[in-house]
């Protein structure tokens, strides 16, 4: 019986096929990494923020009263409670975010966007909007809406947690 070398065995193996869903997920992951890197670079060089810092300010700025329970902020950022605490500390030290206790429940704490945080968010949004516009310039309004809805479904986003 003839034995095959490893090289011959490898060449005899059929090429693995990539399913359309796997290909979509791999491309989505690459697009996410590319876009996040671009946003992170622009935000850090112009505004001194990371993209993660921007997301905190953004979610707080969109919330009623410009505040969120820390646990809700952690959920939106896909962080643990301790992870959001570590992420908020530098922003609190810079005066961009404030801690706010719940007067009725000592276990509940809020993160509140300060006036300085709102001002920085307003400036940062200009940079982020420019990158978003450039990234989506080839899409029609209908395509952009459809892609946004699809990504929202993949992320489990609905009106209550966006």
Is 150 part of a structural domain of the chain?
no
**Does 88 fall in a domain?**
yes
Report how far Cα 120 is from the mean position of its chain's Cα atoms: 18
pLDDT digits (tens, 9 = 90+) for 41-88: 999 999 999 999 999 999 999 999 999 999 999 999 989 988 999 999
By residue range, what is the domain housing residue 87? 48-135
Rg (alpha carbons) of the chain, rounded to whole number: 22
Higher pLDDT, 11 or 23: 23
Confidence of residue 105 (pLDDT cuts 50, 70, 90): confident
Beta strands (DSSP E) in 4-72 are 67-69
**95 CB contacts (<8 Å, ≥6 apart)?**
114, 116, 117
141 falls within a domain: no
109: closest CA among 88, 139, 93, 79? 88
First-residue to last-residue Cα distance in the chain: 64
Is residue 16 in some structural domain?
A: no
pTM of the model: 0.81
CATH number at residue 58: 1.10.10.10
Q: Residue 1 above 70 pLDDT?
A: no
Number of structural domains (the chain) is 1
Is 115 within a domain?
yes
Q: Measured between alpha carbons, how far is 32 from 22 in angstroms, rounded to an integer?
A: 15
């Amino acid at each position: 019986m003839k034995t095959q070398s490893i090289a011959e065995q490898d060449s005899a193996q059929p090429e693995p096929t990539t399913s359309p869903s796997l290909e979509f997920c791999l491309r989505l992951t690459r697009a996410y990494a590319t876009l996040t890197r671009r946003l992170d670079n622009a935000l850090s060089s112009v505004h001194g923020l990371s993209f993660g810092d921007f997301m905190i300010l953004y979610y707080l700025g969109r919330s009623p009263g410009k505040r969120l329970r820390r646990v809700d902020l952690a959920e939106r950022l896909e962080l643990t409670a301790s992870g959001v605490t570590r992420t908020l500390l530098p922003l609190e030290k810079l005066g961009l975010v404030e801690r706010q206790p719940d007067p009725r429940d000592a276990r509940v704490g809020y993160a509140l966007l300060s006036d300085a945080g709102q001002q920085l968010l307003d400036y940062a949004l200009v940079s982020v909007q420019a990158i978003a516009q450039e990234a989506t310039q080839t899409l029609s309004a209908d395509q952009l809406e459809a892609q946004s809805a699809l990504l929202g479904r993949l992320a489990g986003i609905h009106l209550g947690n966006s």
